[in-house]
Structure 1
Amino acid sequence: MENASHPARRTVIAVRDVADLMVWPWFSLAKSPRHTPIAFEQGAVRIRVEPAGALGIATLWDADVLVWAASQLTEALDAGRTPSRHLETPAYPLLRFLGRSVGRHDYALLRAAFDRLAATRIETTLRAGPEGPARFRWLEGWEPTAAGVRLTLPDWLFTAVCERRVLTLDPGYFALTGGVARWLYRLVRKMGGWQRGGGAIGLHRLHARSGSPVRPAEFARHIRRIAASGLPGYRLSIERGGGEERLLFSRERTAANLSTAPCGQSVNDDGTSHLSEIGRSPCRLAGERHPDSESSPWPASPIRPYNLYNLNNNRLLAADSSTPPPVDKSSGPGRTPR
């Protein structure tokens, strides 16, 4: 089916990512433009990612658009509908799905992400046919429409989703601010899965897998700081020994995965909050977040209010495409873009 496909009909759907994108170096881990190609080789897997012009390589924040697309397509498959690699949607629900604000600047950043995804060139032997390496761009094309935006996915990515090569992500992934933290969560989710046993990987191997241009020692410092803070749904720790540091990761034990036997006793009286005023919360306003850094996995900066004007106005169409793609200089994308 090659007609434009509208997104999932349900308002709330699971966040899903293509598994093949979670353990290999496909994206830049920095918000500043990266013009140096990513070249990676391990066994039979070879990957080369190149920028086009001044746009730079697509970033992990740009890749949120692909997470949205994979989530929409998987939801369509689950509902028994025939998906299409063409997706059309208003920009507003796309931004809200990604946990971003909806001001004019956010729409401009989204448009810049489309441009980088459509310009970044990939060549890989992963899931390539007998004719040789697969060559594609993250978006074969995109265009504003009266309804919002129309995206065209490459066959390589579309086929992966149709073959159910997807994994569910914790929605807290979108709140991770550091590029290394975002990349590490995806790798841990793919390698560790949901099993409680978890896994381990050496920091030198991690550095090679990330495609990061920073020195190994600096990358290791990032990993140590992230391990101290943890990642959504996972516990991390550093093991030292044998001449190399290793990252250990295991799934967190939460109320959702703990099993308890029934006590056989009746429930106590209905719980009450004992608030002194009806309709008023005693909690203090939370308008600030902790300072951000490239290695910090948590949101930062003041939380920007919703721009209600954009509920009925698609700012994507108003973004000035004649100017260079904007660089997101906010502290982090907890509720901010890219």
Structure 2
Amino acid sequence: MNTLKPRKHRLEFFIADNIELSSFRDEIASMEHPFFALKGGNTKTREYRNGNITVIVKPNSDGLATIFDKDVWIYVISKLQESMNVNQEISKTVCFTPYDFFVTTNRTISGRTYQELERTLDRLKGTTIKTNIFYSKRKQEIIGFGLIDSWQILEEKKGKLDIGMVKVTLPDWLYQALHKKRLLKISPDYFRIRKAIDRRIYEIARKHCGIQSYFSITLDKLHLKTGSTSLLKMFRHNIKKLANTNDLPDYTIRYDSVEDMVIFDNRKNNLKDKKINFN
């Protein structure tokens, strides 16, 4: 005989504000491949090919979801993962206050920020991905999905929900990524990175370098993986500037002009930051 009674009620939503975050997490596939645009207002379909991998990103009339829109993803899956760590029940539908989201992701709190959140949710709902990255090399299947399934801003009190809460339903593939441990911890300082391209470069460094001492990649391959639409020579210029500044979380960056390579060094594995520039 079972010692537990059967569950009589299905959890319809998960309230994120009740969870204190000790760390943040990002989804692995979107860290390696450019699901998100680097500039707002991009209404063109983007196609990315890297070896056998194909990613086709389609916008709606509001444009492609951007790397800054991705903060909603990171916020939500980080809260869900934290709850899973202490064996709390979770749901694909997550409710949160805009205020908690803004504070957690280091945003300014203003009327304009509230309006931008609604546009962010529109872009996430309207952007769709078609890709084969979730299958083995022997298979040819492709999968299509939205970045979120639905969203709602709740302006009236509904049971436990307070006025002004946001309700977001995650796509099944992202929800399953939590259970399949397809997430990586990222630095809380990620939200302090100002430039979109620098956020993408950090994601790529975190995914490929991880806890290793260093990771190297050709400049043109890094350019491809970021999803940048700038010319390669401009991208090279920006990499050199970033190497001089060297203020990314977790990793330092070097540019080797002889080999046209970019090298990421893990700060934790080096006693001193390596601010080395090659002429």
* TM bracket (short chain): 0.7 to 0.9
Q: Which residue of 2 aligns with 1:264?
A: none
Q: Which residue of 2 aligns with 1:218?
A: 234
User: Higher mean Cα deviation, 88-97 or 5-14?
Assistant: 5-14
8 Å contact from structure 1 (residues 8, 75) kept in 2: no
- 1:175-213 alpha-carbon deviations (Å, 9 max, x no partner): 111111010001001111123x21100110011112211
Q: Which residue of 1 aligns with 2:147?
A: 138
| Selected match of 1:51 from 35, 47, 59 | 59
8 Å contact from structure 2 (residues 17, 100) kept in 1: no
CA RMSD of superposed structures (Å): 1.9
1:136 positional shift: 0.9
More helix by share: 2
User: Higher mean Cα deviation, 126-135 or 11-20?
Assistant: 126-135
- 1:102-151 alpha-carbon deviations (Å, 9 max, x no partner): 21111111111011000001101111597931111111100011330100
1:49 positional shift: 0.2
Q: Which residue of 2 aligns with 1:245?
A: 260
User: Higher mean Cα deviation, 168-177 or 58-67?
Assistant: 168-177
Give the Cα–Cα distance (whole angstroms) in 1 for the partners of residues 219 and 140 of structure 2: 35
Alignment of 1:89-104 (within 5 A): 89-104=96-111
Q: Which residue of 2 aligns with 1:61?
A: 68
Counterpart residue identity of residue 152, structure 2 = E
Task: List structure 1 segments (4+ residues) > 4 angstroms apart after TM superposition.
Answer: 128-131
Q: Which residue of 1 aligns with 2:179?
A: 162
TM-score w.r.t. length of structure 2? 0.85
Q: Which residue of 1 aligns with 2:49?
A: 41
| Selected match of 2:219 from 167, 189, 203 | 203
Give the Cα–Cα distance (whole angstroms) in 1 for the partners of residues 36 and 94 of structure 2: 22
Counterpart residue identity of residue 234, structure 1 = Y
Percent of counterpart pairs with the same letter?
26
Give the Cα–Cα distance (whole angstroms) in 1 for the partners of residues 210 and 91 of structure 2: 28
8 Å contact from structure 2 (residues 218, 261) kept in 1: yes
Distance change (3 Å), C-alpha of 1:167 and 1:8: farther
Of structures 1 and 2, the one with the larger relative CO (CA 8 A, separation 6+) is: 1
Counterpart check, 1:187 vs 2:204: yes
Give the Cα–Cα distance (whole angstroms) in 2 for the partners of residues 134 and 89 of structure 1: 29
1:2 positional shift: 5.4
Give the Cα–Cα distance (whole angstroms) in 2 for the partners of residues 193 and 253 of structure 1: 11
Give the Cα–Cα distance (whole angstroms) in 2 for the partners of residues 175 and 102 of structure 1: 15
User: Higher mean Cα deviation, 6-15 or 181-190?
Assistant: 6-15
Q: Which has the larger radius of gyration?
A: 1
Structure 2 residue ranges without an equivalent (≥5): 1-9, 157-161, 272-279
Counterpart residue identity of residue 96, structure 1 = V
| Selected match of 2:193 from 135, 158, 176 | 176
Counterpart residue identity of residue 189, structure 1 = R
